[in-house]
Each structure stands twice: as structure tokens, then as C-alpha cells.
Amino acid sequence: MGMFRKFFKPDIEKMERNRDIEGLIKAMRYPNGGVILEAQRALARVGEPAVQPLIRALKTKDFRRGALMALGMTGDARAIEPLTEALKDEDIVLRIIAAVALGKIGDARVIEPLTQALKDEDEGVRTGAKNALEKIKARAKPPLPQVEKCPSCGVEIPVGAEFCPNCGRRVE
């Protein structure tokens, strides 16, 4: 029976409900991209408890790519160091995944390694790093100031302004 278990589709929902982190990590070996993605997303939803087992899974060749993706999806800052290390890996796909995952985490500590990855020999890695940096930059923009219309001339002015910069009238 044990020999046939690998042919049956894993029950990702049940594993997630039961917080079966090891089972979800093993499900990333299933020969179906949809199941792998489901497992990665489930691990990300499990969140904090899955981070250390995913970091350990990086040491196993079969799980490296999936574990890197899932780590990025968690958004957990503890993933920064292993993802940064993966940016230097000989496997181009791992480097691309690491760049994308670091962009999802978005912590300021990832800016320097991603900037270095812009010099990578592979165009895919450079593109992944560029996109990740753009994503981080977009999230870092300050919120737009709230505005209201001047009661005299109708021009938008910042909320709380004392005078309208257009017509010069006092705003009450």
C-alpha cells in the first residue's frame, strides 16, 4: 500500500486544517503543478509555524524550489537570510524564485541583495530582482494627502489648509 500512496492526490485542505506542515511540504513533490501551488499557498496561510520547517526543507534538493516560493508567500522576515543566500545559488531558477520571493517580503533589508542581483549574469534573475525592487518601492510610497474642494473656487486643496492656494480665500 505504501508504494501506491505517492500516486494519490494529497488532501491539501485537510493537511492545512490539521496544520500538517510536514505533509504539506511533502505534497510539493507531487507531480502536478496545481497541487504544488496549493501546498505552497496552504503553507503560507499556516504562516509562522511553517517558516522553520520550510527553511529546513531548503537543504533537500527535491523541495528547494517549492520551499523558496512558500517562504516568500509567508512574508515572514526570517525567510530573508535563506532567500538572500539562494540569490547566489548556481541554479538559475532558484535565483529567480528567490528574487521574486524577496519582493513579496518587502523588508528594507532585501533592497541591497536585490540591487546586487541586478548584476546577475542571467536576464531572468535581473528581471526578477528589478520587479521585486519596483514592488517594494511602490509599497513604500507615502499615502496621498487627503483633499477637499475650496468652497469659493472648487479647486482641490489639502484637508486642513487655512487658505486656498488658487484663490487665496480663507477656508473654513
Q: Where are the domains of the chain?
A: 2-142, 143-172
* Separation of alpha carbons 15 and 17, rounded Å: 5
Q: Write down the pLDDT at residue 152.
A: 87
**How far is it between the farthest Cα atoms of the chain?**
83
Q: Write down the pLDDT at residue 1.
A: 36
Nearest alpha-carbon partner for 94 in 125, 57, 115, 118: 125
Q: Write down the pLDDT at residue 3.
A: 41
**What type of residue sits at position 97?**
I
pTM: 0.70
Kindly report the CATH class assigned to 2-142. mainly alpha
Contact 92, 64 (CB under 8 A): no
Looking at residue 107, the DSSP 8-state letter turns out to be -
Q: How many residues does the chain have?
A: 172
Report CA-CA distances (Å) from 113 to 84, 94, 96.
6, 15, 13
* Separation of alpha carbons 21 and 149, rounded Å: 54
* Separation of alpha carbons 30 and 95, rounded Å: 22
Give the chain's residues under pLDDT 70. 1-7, 140-145
Looking at residue 169, the DSSP 8-state letter turns out to be P
